[in-house]
Amino acid sequence: MIKYFSTVGGRILLLIGIVNVLSMAGMVAFYADRQEESILQQNEQSLNLTAETATQGLRALMLRGDADIAQNYADNLKKVGTIEDFRILRIDGNEAFYDNKTIMSVNNKLGKEEFQTREDESVINILPKNNKYLEKVLADRRQISYTQREQGIEKLTLLLPVIPEQKCFRCHDKQQAVRGILKVTTSLMPVREAIHASRSQALLILVGCILGSLLLVGLLIRWSLVQRITMVTAAMEKISHGDFTQRIPVSGLLELVRMAESFNMMTVEVLRGYSRLTEEQNKLTTVIRSAQEAIIVTNAIGEIVLINPSAERILEKTSDQLLKGGFLSVVDDPDYVRRFIEMGGMGLPDTLVYKNRVLNFFAATICNNQNQPIGSAAFIRDITQEKRLEEKLRILSYSDKLTGLYNRRRMEELLEKEYERARRYSLPLSILFFDVDHFKKFNDTYGHDMGDKVLEMVGKVAKNHCRTVDYACRYGGEEFCIILTETEERGAFHAADRFRQQLASTTIQDDIHVTCSVGIATYPGVVSDPEVVCDGWETFLKLADNALYEAKAQGRNRVVQWRPGMIKKKG
């Protein structure tokens, strides 16, 4: 039943049913209320008629002077089927004809004993003298009615004033505008039963009308609307499974005709769009599968739905392993992948080492046009060869091809960095500036090939002589420079002299040897000469060159430490 009302026909039928129930219920309620009001009015009118008849009878008895039988008359009225209680009251609320008060009053006015007094008398109070209904009848001199419950039974009571006529004044006082009150009470239980029966009958009619109208409306809806909607729904379901040949007949009501035409046109357009989408999807699939980069895509709940062959090759995992491990474990570091996605890669390295490979990693959340996440994607490139080539190029850009030492450009960068560091942190720094003695003459004697071998040998000795924190560089031609970090004058001098001796003792070929001259400059000693302004690494290097010139001037094959006042001479 619940499933039925979730359909279009069920909803329409439910809506119509609600409207019918409300409208018919309103009509039945109005009819029932009118019927109840009519029954109550008829009952009250009937009671009024009975009371009026009783009043006329009582008045006739009193005018004829038959007051002694008035009580019997009242007692007989109580036996009437529609009357539950009938009382004749004085204006003080006591029941009349049970005491001698009125008889004595009449006899006194007539001056003779016209009426015989009762031997047994009693005072029966029916209504308190201050009863609001009693007071209202006496004040308005009109009948009133009211209802009240006694022992759970609803009862209707009429109070009718007895208005005296001219003939009554022979026996009674003219000052009393109302001689007495008739109290008539009847039970409303039969009336309520009649009203209940009327309501039950109206309810049965209402239920029958509603069921009949719903059945008729349901048949009409099914015949004119639901069948066509069901047909469209079935066709759309087949389309969702890839059957784009579906068409529905163009017939029926105008709206249904338009719906059928629109559906058929939509099917044609969907088929065209699907064909184009399939074509583009095939292109995209080809691109993804042929890409050299690893591509992994998930759906909205994080399940991997796409893995290209490059992902298996680069990550060295099968598709089953990737699916089992999950998206966050593609590079065996779930925290890294999670943080990368959450932070959009900001503040995280996008290059990592994985299984002896250098990988460039990127991952992001995929969102739709409403900025709702529909999945995630990872794009991974193997840049191992690129990094190796970059390192090789970096080394080539920093190295001298012949000697393997740092070239002049790199030497200047390193010397600038180390000189600034020494000045900032008050650290010692020394440089050895040297060249091969009589190298031009050596080239002229043995040829340039032998000269190149000499330079290679010098570079090898210099590299082996340096510590890991020192830098051996080729300045140009036969000139070289060694940067000794955190080295004072004495240590620099000993290192330079050991290097000079090792180079002199090294055989190049067929007992051929070479020597070198070395100039040393050490920071902070270079700033102690007031005549020299050492304001940068260029001046620092120039001072070492001055010391080298001094070593050559002293006969070569020696080490000279720069001292204040040592200025290179021209010529």
Q: Can you give the C-alpha Rg of the chain in angstroms?
A: 63
Nearest to 427 by CA among 500, 491, 518: 491
Q: Is the pLDDT of residue 570 over 50?
A: no
Range scoring the smallest mean pLDDT among 182-196, 379-393, 415-429, 438-452: 182-196
Residue 84: DSSP 8-state: S
Better-scored residue on pLDDT, 140 or 446: 446
* Domain match, 112 and 73 both: yes
Q: Could you give the CA distance from residue 120 to residue 47 in angstroms, rounded to a whole number?
A: 32
In the chain, the number of structural domains is 3
Give the highest mean pLDDT range of 153-162, 215-224, 303-312, 463-472: 463-472
Q: Is the pLDDT of residue 281 over 60?
A: yes
Range scoring the smallest mean pLDDT among 147-151, 333-337, 451-455, 490-494: 147-151
What pLDDT does 495 receive? 95
CATH code of residue 126: 3.30.450.20
* Domain match, 378 and 408 both: no
Q: Is the pLDDT of residue 499 over 90?
A: yes
The alpha carbon torsion through 68, 74, 77, 79 (nearest 10 deg) reads -100
Looking at residues 29-45, what average pLDDT do you find? 68
CA distances in angstroms from 266 to 243, 244, 259, 275, 373, listed in the order given: 13, 10, 10, 14, 29
415-426: pLDDT as tens digits: 999 999 999 999
- Confidence category of residue 384, pLDDT binned at 50, 70, 90: confident
With respect to residue 217, please indicate whether it lies within any of the assigned structural domains.
no
Looking at residues 44-63, what average pLDDT do you find? 64
* Residue pair 71/89 in contact by the 8 Å Cβ criterion: no
Q: How many CA atoms lie within 13 A of 427 on its CB side?
A: 14
**CA angle 419–420–424, rounded 5-degree value:** 120
What pLDDT does 428 receive? 94
Looking at residues 174-186, what average pLDDT do you find? 71
* Domain match, 408 and 368 both: no
Better-scored residue on pLDDT, 54 or 203: 203
Q: Which residues does residue 351 pair with via DSSP β-bridges, in sequence order?
A: 360
With respect to residue 230, please indicate whether it lies within any of the assigned structural domains.
no
Q: Which residues does residue 492 pair with via DSSP β-bridges, in sequence order?
A: none
Looking at residues 261-267, what average pLDDT do you find? 77
Better-scored residue on pLDDT, 537 or 238: 537
**pLDDT > 90 in the chain, percent:** 22
Looking at residues 179-200, what average pLDDT do you find? 74
- Confidence category of residue 405, pLDDT binned at 50, 70, 90: very high
Q: Is the pLDDT of residue 493 over 90?
A: yes
With respect to residue 199, please indicate whether it lies within any of the assigned structural domains.
no
Would strands 373-382 and 357-367 be described as parallel, antiparallel, or unpaired? Answer: antiparallel
Nearest to 432 by CA among 407, 465, 392: 465
Q: Is the pLDDT of residue 310 over 80?
A: yes
What residues have CB less than 8 Å from 86, skipping those under 6 apart? 54, 74, 77, 78, 80, 182, 183, 184, 185
CATH code of residue 410: 3.30.70.270
**pLDDT > 70 in the chain, percent:** 75
Q: Is the pLDDT of residue 325 over 60?
A: yes
Q: Among 154, 169, 194, give the residue marking a domain's end.
A: 194
With respect to residue 418, please indicate whether it lies within any of the assigned structural domains.
yes
With respect to residue 356, please indicate whether it lies within any of the assigned structural domains.
yes
DSSP H stretches of helix in 399-515: 408-425, 439-446, 448-465, 489-504
CA distances in angstroms from 198 to 38, 94, 205, 207, 253, listed in the order given: 12, 40, 11, 14, 44
Q: Could you give the CA distance from residue 100 to residue 89 in angstroms, rounded to a whole number?
A: 14
Looking at residues 235-246, what average pLDDT do you find? 73
Better-scored residue on pLDDT, 463 or 49: 463
* Domain match, 534 and 406 both: yes
* Domain match, 378 and 421 both: no
What pLDDT does 94 receive? 77
- Residue carrying structure tokens 């039928």: 13
CA distances in angstroms from 282 to 260, 267, 322, 378, listed in the order given: 32, 22, 23, 20
Q: Among 334, 364, 387, give the residue marking a domain's end.
A: 387
CA distances in angstroms from 267 to 264, 377, 567, listed in the order given: 5, 33, 95
* Domain match, 149 and 184 both: yes
Quote the mean pLDDT of the chain. Answer: 79
Q: Could you give the CA distance from residue 359 to residue 353 in angstroms, rounded to a whole number?
A: 6
With respect to residue 490, please indicate whether it lies within any of the assigned structural domains.
yes
Q: Could you give the CA distance from residue 76 to residue 152 in angstroms, rounded to a whole number?
A: 27
- Residue carrying structure tokens 């001259």: 517
* Domain match, 373 and 406 both: no
pTM over 0.75: no
Better-scored residue on pLDDT, 230 or 10: 230
Q: Could you give the CA distance from residue 507 to residue 168 in angstroms, rounded to a whole number?
A: 173
Q: Is the pLDDT of residue 330 over 70?
A: yes
* Domain match, 372 and 490 both: no
What pLDDT does 64 receive? 56
* Domain match, 442 and 515 both: yes
Q: Among 173, 194, 215, give the residue marking a domain's end.
A: 194
* Domain match, 365 and 415 both: no
Range of the domain at 472: 399-561
CA distances in angstroms from 456 to 45, 67, 303, 499, 503, listed in the order given: 141, 164, 60, 15, 12
With respect to residue 212, please indicate whether it lies within any of the assigned structural domains.
no
With respect to residue 464, please indicate whether it lies within any of the assigned structural domains.
yes
Exposed / middle / buried, residue 160 (Cβ in 10 Å: 0-12, 13-18, 19+): buried
* Domain match, 94 and 34 both: yes
* Domain match, 486 and 353 both: no
- Confidence category of residue 489, pLDDT binned at 50, 70, 90: very high
Q: Could you give the CA distance from residue 248 to residue 108 in angstroms, rounded to a whole number?
A: 108
